[in-house]
């Protein structure tokens, strides 16, 4: 470790490591990169505690394109990230998302979203209730007005595999990782000059990237800056099913989808079990260290699942945990790019539950901005910090 770096990335989970990978992989970048991570176990990282999935079914074209690149990147991850002949396997289950709509408002949203997705070439189809029943007989479709199904490019994969693949490859390409904590960000007017660490070391730098997940606002405050991101708790449950519908699907080689129910409850296979969660009825900001699961949510989840399928009437809870969304209170969308005035302070924050799946495209975009002074592969400027200053939300209808 040296005392000066071109780029210091605060946060070494999937976002920070994606930025580090794309920087060090780019032949036009010959600078030095330091990633500072406060907890190398990642036991409380949003990356590790997520539902580990990706979808193309968004309402905003940029979000669709971000995920389309993510799907391609995940498919090729083993070849791209191999180090010394070892290829990481993300075990990508490309089984699709199935959104179901039971109200006129939900139907309108799915139809409007589908028009955007189809216009960008996403492999998503709209089904009526009979088509849902034909494809997934275990689903009770009597109340459904329409459903939206991703035939490819969607599913779930290894969350820690993605993170560790980025980390290992970035390190192999020359990035330095250190277990420490940034306690101060040094600023001179409209310019960041360096950081100070809990270990007592001072590191000067040309650019700082904020990749600290739910702690993003705390990190920005060290530089005298503000960002509307706060930790919100999400509880996930894993259950066994007495009469599992596994193998009953009549599409996609008999694989079950990631079901997004009209009630807000979601469910997908997790090995021989199932993983589930729901949109909380009450969603307050929580303390950064509050990871106590909301056990009471499981009763509501069970009721919603049983109503959607008889297969889920007899289930047994086998595991549970709580993680944090890095929740953007303005519009639930990522903030990617430089601060409006302090241009060498870069945000990669506020993913609001989508960080894992959006890490490849946003990591690539942040690296491009650092190297070229602008986005090249995909213009991420509409989700930049300037909209925060203007107070103009970048709206997304399909938020889970």
CB 349 within 8 A of CB 326: yes
Tell whether 220 and 243 lie within a shared domain. no
**How much is the mean pLDDT over the chain?**
97
Of the residues 324, 344, 362, the one at which a domain ends? 324
Residue 370 covered by a domain: yes
Tokens of 294: 């909301």
Tell whether 316 and 341 lie within a shared domain. no
Residue 83 covered by a domain: no
CB 56 within 8 A of CB 153: yes
Tell whether 226 and 243 lie within a shared domain. no
Q: Give yes or no for residue 207 having a pLDDT over 90.
A: yes
Tell whether 217 and 248 lie within a shared domain. no
Tell whether 165 and 311 lie within a shared domain. no
Tell whether 121 and 198 lie within a shared domain. no
Residue 287 covered by a domain: yes
Of the residues 305, 324, 343, the one at which a domain ends? 324
Residue 364 covered by a domain: yes
Tell whether 118 and 262 lie within a shared domain. yes
Tell whether 290 and 347 lie within a shared domain. no
242 Rama sector, left if φ>0, alpha if ψ -120 to 50, beta otherwise: alpha
Residue 313 covered by a domain: yes
Which tens digits make up the pLDDT trace of 138-191? 999 999 999 999 999 999 999 999 999 999 999 999 999 999 999 999 999 999
Contacts by 381-386, CB closer than 8 A, 24 or more apart: 381/337, 382/62, 383/62, 383/333, 383/334, 383/335, 383/336, 383/337, 384/335, 384/336, 384/337, 384/338, 385/227, 385/335, 385/337, 385/338, 385/339, 385/340, 385/347, 386/340
Q: Return the CATH number at 178.
A: 3.50.50.60
Q: Return the CATH number at 238.
A: 3.30.9.10
Degrees, nearest 5: CA angle 83-28-334 = 80
Of the residues 324, 355, 378, the one at which a domain ends? 324
What secondary structure letter does DSSP report for 288? Answer: T
Q: Are strands 124-127 and 146-150 parallel, antiparallel or unpaired?
A: antiparallel
Collapsed DSSP state (helix, strand, coil) of residue 20: helix
**Residue 400 — pLDDT band, cuts 50, 70, 90?**
confident
Tell whether 245 and 298 lie within a shared domain. yes
Residue 67 covered by a domain: no
What secondary structure letter does DSSP report for 152? Answer: S
Q: Quick one: which of 63, 85, 89 has its CA closest to 75?
A: 89
| Number of domains composing the chain | 2
Q: Give yes or no for residue 80 having a pLDDT over 90.
A: yes
CB 257 within 8 A of CB 136: yes
Tokens of 227: 């960002």
Q: What pLDDT score does 347 carry?
A: 98
Residue 190 covered by a domain: yes
Mean pLDDT, residues 285-289: 95
Q: What pLDDT score does 149 carry?
A: 98
Which tens digits make up the pLDDT trace of 339-357? 999 999 999 999 999 999 9
Tell whether 236 and 319 lie within a shared domain. yes
Tell whether 312 and 166 lie within a shared domain. no
Residue 192 covered by a domain: yes
Q: Give the range of the structural domain holding residue 49, as residue numbers without chain letter.
A: 4-54+159-230+330-390
pTM: 0.97
């Amino acid at each position: 470790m040296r005392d000066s770096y071109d780029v210091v990335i605060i946060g070494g989970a999937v976002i920070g490591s994606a930025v580090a990978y794309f920087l060090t992989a780019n032949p036009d970048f010959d600078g030095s990169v330091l990633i500072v991570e406060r907890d190398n176990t990642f036991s409380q990282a949003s990356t590790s505690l997520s539902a580990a999935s990706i979808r193309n079914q968004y309402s905003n074209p940029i979000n669709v394109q971000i995920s389309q690149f993510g799907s391609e990147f995940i498919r090729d991850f083993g070849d791209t990230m191999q180090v010394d002949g070892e290829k990481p396997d993300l075990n990508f289950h490309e089984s699709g998302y199935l959104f179901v709509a039971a109200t006129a408002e939900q139907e309108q949203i799915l139809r409007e979203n589908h028009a955007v997705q189809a216009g960008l070439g996403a492999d998503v189809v709209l089904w009526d209730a009979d088509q849902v029943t034909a494809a997934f007989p275990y689903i009770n479709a009597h109340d459904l007005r329409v459903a939206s199904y991703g035939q490819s490019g969607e599913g779930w994969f290894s969350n820690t595999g993605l993170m560790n693949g980025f980390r290992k490859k970035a390190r192999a390409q020359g990035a330095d990782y250190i277990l420490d904590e940034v306690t101060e960000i040094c600023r001179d007017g409209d310019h960041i000059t360096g950081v100070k660490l809990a270990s007592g070391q001072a590191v000067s730098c040309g650019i700082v990237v904020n990749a600290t997940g739910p702690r993003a606002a705390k990190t920005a405050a060290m530089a005298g800056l503000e960002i509307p991101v706060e930790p919100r708790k999400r509880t996930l449950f894993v259950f066994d099913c007495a009469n599992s519908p596994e193998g009953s699907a009549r599409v996609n080689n008999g694989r079950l989808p990631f079901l997004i129910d009209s009630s807000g409850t979601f469910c997908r296979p997790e090995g021989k079990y199932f993983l589930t969660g729901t949109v909380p009825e009450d969603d307050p900001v929580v303390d950064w260290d509050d990871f106590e699961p909301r056990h009471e949510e499981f009763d509501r989840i069970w009721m919603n699942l049983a109503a959607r399928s008889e297969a889920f009437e007899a289930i047994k809870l086998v595991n549970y945990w709580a993680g944090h969304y890095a929740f953007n209170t303005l519009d639930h969308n990522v903030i990617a790019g430089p601060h409006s005035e302090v241009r060498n302070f870069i945000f990669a924050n506020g993913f609001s539950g989508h960080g894992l799946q959006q890490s490849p495209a946003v990591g690539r975009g942040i690296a491009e901005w650092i190297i070229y002074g602008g986005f090249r592969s995909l213009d991420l400027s509409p989700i930049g910090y300037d909209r925060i200053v203007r107070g103009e939300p970048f709206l997304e209808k399909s938020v889970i």
